[in-house]
Amino acid sequence: MKKKIISILAAASVLLSVGCSDSDYESEEHADTAEVTTVAETSDDAEETEPADDDSDAEAEETSDDAAQAVTKGIKGFSLSVNSSDGKMNITRAPKKSTPMGDPDTWTIFIYLCGTDLEDNIAAATLDIVQMAQAQTSDNVRFVFQTGGTETWQIETMDPNACERYVVEDNDIRLVDSAPLTNMGDPSTLESFLEWGVSAYPAEKMGFIFWDHGGGSITGACVDELHERDTLSLAEINSAFSDVYENMTDKFEFIGFDCCLMGTAETANVLATYSRYFYGSQESEPGSGWDYTAIGNFLAEDPSANGADLGKVVTDSFYDECAAADQESGCTFTIIDCEKFDDFAIAFNDYAKDLYTAAASDLGGIVRGVNEADNFGGNDKSEGYTNMVDIGGIINNCASYADGSKVLAALDDCIVYNKNGTNHTGASGLSIYYPLSVEGSEELKIFSGICISPYYLSLVDMVAKGYTGNGYDEQVFFTEDGGWSNDDCEGNYDTYFDDESYGESGESSLITFAQEPHLDENGIYTFTLDEQGYEYAAGVTAYIYLGIDEENVVELGETDDIYIDWETGTFADNFDGYWLALPDGQILPTYIVDSTEEYTVFTSPIMLNGDRTNLRVRVYTDYTVVVEGAWDGIDENGMAAREIKKISAGDTIVPVYYLLDESDFSGEEYSWQDGDNIAYDYLPSADYYYGFGIDDVYGDYYISDFVVFSIDEEGNISFDKN
């Protein structure tokens, strides 16, 4: 991209199944526990089918053998596969258990309390421990937590150099066990706490909470800042729970994440083996997290409540905590009935199969539909990418390519309760990984081991792998009759996902035009895609640049003020000259986080009091501007920051711009004052550069020629026709 921009400006001025993962665990190793199998029905009219004759019985037996053979590999606790004959999903899980491990009407809630900077900087873990201790006294309810992962505990008696275990009950916090410090991002540490906890403090109903940062399905949760910022992946979480579950007589009543972004289909699928209910948020959480006093009070008053009842209390009180932090607009929270999740996963695989088939003829339309779905955790140049996208939004937006009515009904059926703020009114309750932006192949390798549908995995691989000149070669993974090839999968898995062909060139050959980008007779910059360009285009945005001297050109950011007509493939600038600026007039570099008919949320890279972060600003269609605060975005481990810091009087803000070589250029320091607000007005009088960025369906993009436009002192815009 930068090479082309420099020259222009100079001139102007599948894989078989989740079972195909390279996990160390073979399903045969746990054949004695793999007793519960769910198989998709092959027909809606199965109950009305006439009794089969001997030949059809033989065919059915053969199909059953095919299904059994397809389950050749898996991970501990469960395995997913598809029948080679019809692509239907089979889900095999460890046996359901329902013999209580403790006395009637008793609850133990275990918390894996990985403190990290949330404890160092804002004492968030300490505040939640205090909430536990403030709950109503009860002989039937206790909290049990393990500490670790942080340099400093704000409770002076806690030792950051040990893994300590505490019990909170009857308003008392008691240290009951201490061990040498171990890595909270190591599954053996999690397994040790689980094994000790269910043995020492069993109850009729047991819940488990992961507490810390989260990054979604790919990066997992719980960052240990004392051990090279190691994290727990979903595969590691599954391994720990599987080992402990073998010696349990009951499932956990719920497993949840007081972490950002973990309300995903992949997470729910892993934990459905071990728990009756799953709790999680699709979006980032505020630092305050869950309300543990509300949880303790509810269970003290009604210890016979189940996970669904408690889940509603957790959801509503979490929303109230978000409101107290003035972050309820971004709130999401969902309670999943794990007993019904498999029905959803099976229906989603059927849907994904149809969507994958449709992609052969209209991948562009499908990708555009996915891109319009709600996403979570930023997903932009300034804040970083989580690649967590709303699964219901994908299904709804691609309805013209695959019938989503059954899978949406199954999704709705497995959701017990959910609550969304105004930023996510249409969020369905669960996210799923989708490669909005991929850097290298490692995340695809991780995803292949946790994906809930091999057909969806193949669609993701098609999009992320990139165009090879001959399109996507499905014969690498499919047999000629459309089945899945075990041999090819096992033989090609590692080398396939280690292929470094993922990436961007900035000069996608797939974006072609009936009319090249040009200034028309009215001075409007416009273009029209031809048939190929329309087929492969995924999205269009526009970029604004400013030359600050002869050598330096800075990127002011992107705008969605574009006339878009996907029916005809025609696009044109609709830029009105308005931009965000600090009160002293400094232009803010801005990138789009979210855009609706009512508002657009922008993020701007800044230094706040000397620390690099991002300023989030919401602009409504009536030009009302609301400063939401500063958010650190996604770190190098893929973990989302939890706290949105409010801007207060005396805070210093320095805009940070990207130059063409991707280095930073800093503006002047501004000190925020009471009553200040971000301005949204005409850009200062100057010459600017405007160009289109056109994404293709495979993650590459095309940058148009840039044209010069000028803004005079009255805000009038004119494009240079020369």
pLDDT at 565: 96
The total number of residues shown for the chain amounts to: 722
**Residue 418: in which H helix or E strand, if any?**
strand 415-420
Is 449 strand, coil or helix? Answer: coil
Residues pairing with 275 in the sheet: 252
112 and 99 Cβ atoms separated by less than 8 Å: no
pLDDT at 595: 86
Residue 363 scores a pLDDT above 80: yes
- 234 and 109 both lie in a single domain: yes
Which tens digit of pLDDT belongs to each residue from 480-535?
444 444 333 333 545 666 655 555 667 889 999 999 999 999 889 999 999 999 99
Q: Tell me the C-alpha distance between 295 and 110, whole Å.
A: 13
Q: 684: buried, middle or exposed (CB in 10 Å: 19+, 13-18, 0-12)? A: middle
How many domains does one find in the chain? 2
Residue 607 scores a pLDDT above 80: yes
Report yes or no on 126 lying in a domain.
yes
Lowest mean pLDDT across 122-136, 368-382, 389-403, 655-669: 655-669
Domain boundary among 404, 435, 462: 462
Give the residue, 596 or 276, on which the prediction is more confident: 276
Residue 16 scores a pLDDT above 60: no
Residue 694 scores a pLDDT above 90: yes
**Which band of pLDDT confidence, cut at 50, 70 and 90, is reported for residue 713?**
confident
Give the residue, 357 or 299, on which the prediction is more confident: 299
- 169 and 285 both lie in a single domain: yes
Which residues, 6+ apart, have CB-to-CB distance to 403 below 8 Å?
Answer: 351, 354
Residues pairing with 79 in the sheet: 92
Report yes or no on 114 lying in a domain.
yes
- 549 and 441 both lie in a single domain: no
- 146 and 227 both lie in a single domain: yes
Question: By residue range, what is the domain housing residue 258?
Answer: 99-462
- 457 and 525 both lie in a single domain: no
Is 19 strand, coil or helix? Answer: helix
pLDDT at 57: 40
Report yes or no on 36 lying in a domain.
no
pLDDT at 141: 98
45 and 419 Cβ atoms separated by less than 8 Å: no
DSSP E strands in 504-621: the ranges are 513-519, 525-529, 537-547, 553-559, 562-565, 570-573, 578-581, 591-595, 599-608, 611-620
Domain boundary among 462, 491, 522: 462
C-alpha distances out from residue 105 to 111, 138, 142, 250, Å:
20, 11, 12, 15
C-alpha distances out from residue 319 to 126, 281, 643, 700, Å:
20, 11, 15, 39
Report yes or no on 104 lying in a domain.
yes
DSSP assignment, residue 490? H
Q: Tell me the C-alpha distance between 707 and 721, whole Å.
A: 8
Mean pLDDT for the chain?
A: 85
**Which band of pLDDT confidence, cut at 50, 70 and 90, is reported for residue 468?**
low
**Which band of pLDDT confidence, cut at 50, 70 and 90, is reported for residue 112?**
very high
- 449 and 578 both lie in a single domain: no
- 442 and 574 both lie in a single domain: no
- 287 and 354 both lie in a single domain: yes
Report yes or no on 380 lying in a domain.
yes
Which tens digit of pLDDT belongs to each residue from 47-104?
333 333 444 343 333 333 333 333 333 467 888 877 777 888 889 899 999 999 999 9
Domain boundary among 437, 462, 487: 462
**Which band of pLDDT confidence, cut at 50, 70 and 90, is reported for residue 552?**
confident
Percent of the chain exceeding pLDDT 90 equals: 68
Report yes or no on 467 lying in a domain.
no
Residues pairing with 1 in the sheet: none
Give 692's Cβ-side CA count (13 Å radius).
27
pLDDT at 661: 72
Widest Cα–Cα separation across the chain: 87
Cα 445–chain centre separation: 16
- 382 and 252 both lie in a single domain: yes
Q: Tell me the C-alpha distance between 678 and 416, whole Å.
A: 41
**Which band of pLDDT confidence, cut at 50, 70 and 90, is reported for residue 467?**
low
Residue 650 scores a pLDDT above 60: yes
- 451 and 532 both lie in a single domain: no
Report yes or no on 505 lying in a domain.
no
- Average pLDDT in the 153-162 region? 94
Residue 611: how many other CB atoms lie within 10 Å: 10
Residue 169 scores a pLDDT above 60: yes
- 617 and 519 both lie in a single domain: yes
Q: Would you state the structure tokens that stand for residue 353, as one six-digit string?
A: 């199969």
Report yes or no on 135 lying in a domain.
yes
Which tens digit of pLDDT belongs to each residue from 194-204?
999 999 999 99
- 407 and 538 both lie in a single domain: no
Torsion angle of C-alpha atoms 485, 490, 491, 495, degrees rounded to 10: 120
Which tens digit of pLDDT belongs to each residue from 240-290?
999 999 999 999 999 999 999 999 999 999 999 999 999 999 999 998 999
pLDDT at 720: 75
Residue 567: how many other CB atoms lie within 10 Å: 7
Residue 150 scores a pLDDT above 90: yes
Q: Which residue has the tokens 């280690």?
A: 498
